[in-house]
């Protein structure tokens, strides 16, 4: 089995692509997997370390408004399509998978036009322009949210699979997670984060929450302030160090490497609304307060959050409406209403797709078993 996997730019595109690549290798140890990305994205650093063959092609995205930079982007896209055409013809894959990012357009289109089997995966509730165009040419379009279906043309062959979740998330055990974190049975655990670099608006709103919960041992708060926002957050708290001055019930770090353990122990999560994060919340059945990143392309994070909020699985607070007082009252209000909290968790679980990876792999195998 020969497979090309294309995805790049951000972790939201790269990690699902790697999950698919790893799944293929588990099912087919002799499979030859080639990962295609750009030399500018995170994939150029991440993929070779994991051990997959990596090939970079030129690719760039167009701005929504006319700019001189779009001319250069078109030239790079043209070069990328030419490079992809040659690469696909030489590699002769059984199937090509695209998980998003500028690189997917030229790679997947070149494969589809040459008659190779193709599948794209759309992570968000509102698909990007590239995937909407590609859906007209590919054999399968896999989606994470049912809400995305209405945005694709009727001729698109769409399947609802969900988003592949990291194996360590699927393996978490609540009892063991709370034991590792020294959380007692009666403590209420809140986990908050805004991405690897942090979210300034969330950090500002967390300040009053930290002050209100400090020293209250019936609460445990774990907050990742981000690598870019950590020092500012410390200053916001009066320069307090995470170990010495935030009492034993509050932990603040730039980044949590043990996020699987934290989510396993959580009663409530406060975070942005990226597709990968939402997939993890739903598969664990976790209630959440979602604050979508307001500058995401097409405002897709707000649509992701709505997909949960409208089904009772989350509380949606828009970034511009976020304040410390509102966040604190929402957190404490949910804790005082265990029935609502439990209902949110059940609603989240209903939306989960724990077999997302298997579903995608099943479809890839079906496609790879036949040729046009």
Q: What is the pLDDT of residues 132-142, one digit of tens each?
A: 999 999 999 99
Three-state secondary structure call for residue 192:
strand
* CA max distance for the chain: 66
**C-alpha–C-alpha distance, residues 315 and 331, integer Å:** 10
Compute φ and ψ for 4, nearest 5 degrees: -105, 130
Same-domain check for residues 209 and 231: yes
Higher pLDDT, 213 or 74: 213
**C-alpha–C-alpha distance, residues 14 and 5, integer Å:** 10
Same-domain check for residues 46 and 195: no
Same-domain check for residues 182 and 38: no
Residue 231 has pLDDT above 60, yes or no: yes
Mean pLDDT of all residues belonging to the chain: 90
Residue 370 has pLDDT above 80, yes or no: no
User: How confident is the model at residue 234, as a pLDDT?
Assistant: 82
User: How confident is the model at residue 8, as a pLDDT?
Assistant: 87
**C-alpha–C-alpha distance, residues 209 and 204, integer Å:** 10
User: How confident is the model at residue 372, as a pLDDT?
Assistant: 42
Q: Which residues pair with 268 in a beta bridge?
A: 190
Q: Give pTM, 2 decimals.
A: 0.80
Residue 126 has pLDDT above 80, yes or no: yes
Instruction: Determine how β-strand 53-56 pairs with β-strand 288-290.
Output: unpaired
Domain hosting residue 244, numbered range: 168-351
Same-domain check for residues 159 and 70: yes
Instruction: Determine how β-strand 140-143 pairs with β-strand 268-271.
Output: unpaired
Same-domain check for residues 360 and 346: no
- What the block records as the tokens of 105 is 């357009």
Same-domain check for residues 83 and 54: yes
Q: Please name the residue ranges forming H helices in the chain.
A: 11-27, 43-50, 69-91, 104-113, 129-134, 167-170, 174-180, 200-213, 230-236, 259-265, 275-284, 300-309, 324-335, 338-351, 356-368
pLDDT band for position 61 (cuts 50, 70, 90) = low
% of the chain exceeding 70 in pLDDT: 92
**Coarse DSSP helix, strand, coil percentages of the chain, rounded to the nearest 5 percent:** 45, 15, 40
Residue 247 has pLDDT above 70, yes or no: no
User: How confident is the model at residue 46, as a pLDDT?
Assistant: 86
Same-domain check for residues 182 and 97: no
CA separation, residue 60 to residues 66, 116, 210, 275, 282 (Å): 15, 24, 42, 22, 33
Residue 244 has pLDDT above 60, yes or no: no
Give the domain CATH number at 245. Answer: 3.40.50.2000
Condensed to tens digits (0 to 9), the pLDDT of residues 18-57 reads 999 999 999 999 999 999 999 888 898 889 988 999 999 9
Same-domain check for residues 244 and 315: yes
Q: How many domains does the chain have?
A: 2
Q: Which residues pair with 150 in a beta bridge?
A: none
**C-alpha–C-alpha distance, residues 281 and 344, integer Å:** 11
Same-domain check for residues 70 and 151: yes
CA separation, residue 83 to residues 88, 109, 114, 117, 138 (Å): 9, 12, 14, 18, 19
CA separation, residue 271 to residues 54, 65, 264, 281, 292 (Å): 32, 30, 15, 10, 8
Strand order from edge to edge, sheet including 314-316:
250-253, 219-224, 188-193, 268-271, 288-290, 314-316
Same-domain check for residues 269 and 192: yes
**C-alpha–C-alpha distance, residues 309 and 255, integer Å:** 26
- What the block records as the tokens of 236 is 């916001």
Classify each residue of 48-74 as buried b or exposed e, where b means 16 or more C-beta atoms within 10 Å of its C-beta. Answer: eeeebebbbbbbbbbeeeeeeebeebe
Same-domain check for residues 73 and 105: yes
Compute φ and ψ for 241, nearest 5 degrees: -85, 150
Q: How far apart are the first and last CA of the chain?
A: 16
Same-domain check for residues 19 and 159: yes
């Amino acid at each position: 089995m020969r497979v090309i996997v294309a995805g790049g730019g951000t972790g939201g595109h790269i990690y699902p692509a790697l999950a698919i690549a790893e799944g293929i290798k588990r099912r087919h140890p002799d499979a030859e997997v080639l990962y295609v990305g750009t030399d500018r994205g995170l994939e150029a650093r991440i993929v070779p370390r994991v051990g997959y063959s990596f090939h970079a092609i030129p690719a760039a995205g167009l701005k929504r408004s006319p700019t001189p930079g779009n001319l250069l982007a078109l030239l790079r896209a043209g070069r990328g399509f030419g490079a992809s055409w040659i690469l696909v013809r030489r590699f002769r894959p059984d199937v090509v998978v695209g998980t998003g990012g500028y690189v997917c357009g030229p790679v997947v289109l070149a494969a589809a036009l040459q008659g190779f089997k193709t599948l794209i995966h759309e992570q968000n509730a509102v698909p990007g322009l590239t995937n909407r165009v590609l859906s007209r040419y590919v054999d399968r379009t896999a989606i994470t949210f049912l809400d995305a279906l209405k945005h694709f043309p009727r001729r698109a062959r769409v399947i609802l699979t969900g988003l592949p979740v990291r194996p360590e998330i699927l393996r978490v055990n609540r009892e063991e997670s709370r034991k590792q974190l020294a959380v007692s049975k009666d403590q209420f655990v809140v986990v908050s984060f805004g991405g690897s670099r942090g979210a300034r608006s969330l950090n500002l709103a967390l300040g009053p929450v930290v002050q209100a919960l400090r020293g209250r041992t019936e609460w445990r708060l774990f907050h990742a302030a981000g690598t870019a926002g950590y020092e500012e957050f410390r200053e916001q708290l009066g320069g307090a160090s995470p170990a010495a001055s935030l009492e034993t019930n509050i932990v603040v770090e730039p980044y949590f490497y043990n996020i699987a353990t934290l989510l396993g122990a959580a009663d409530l999560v406060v975070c942005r609304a990226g597709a990968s994060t939402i997939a993890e919340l739903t598969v664990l059945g976790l209630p959440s307060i979602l604050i979508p990143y307001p500058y995401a392309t097409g405002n897709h994070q707000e649509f992701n959050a709505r997909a949960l909020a409208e089904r009772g699985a989350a509380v949606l607070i828009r970034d511009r409406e976020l304040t410390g007082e509102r966040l604190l009252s929402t957190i404490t209000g949910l804790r005082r209403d265990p029935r609502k909290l439990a209902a949110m968790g059940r609603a989240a679980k209903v939306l989960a797709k724990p077999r997302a990876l298997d579903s995608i792999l099943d479809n890839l195998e079906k496609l790879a078993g036949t040729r046009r």
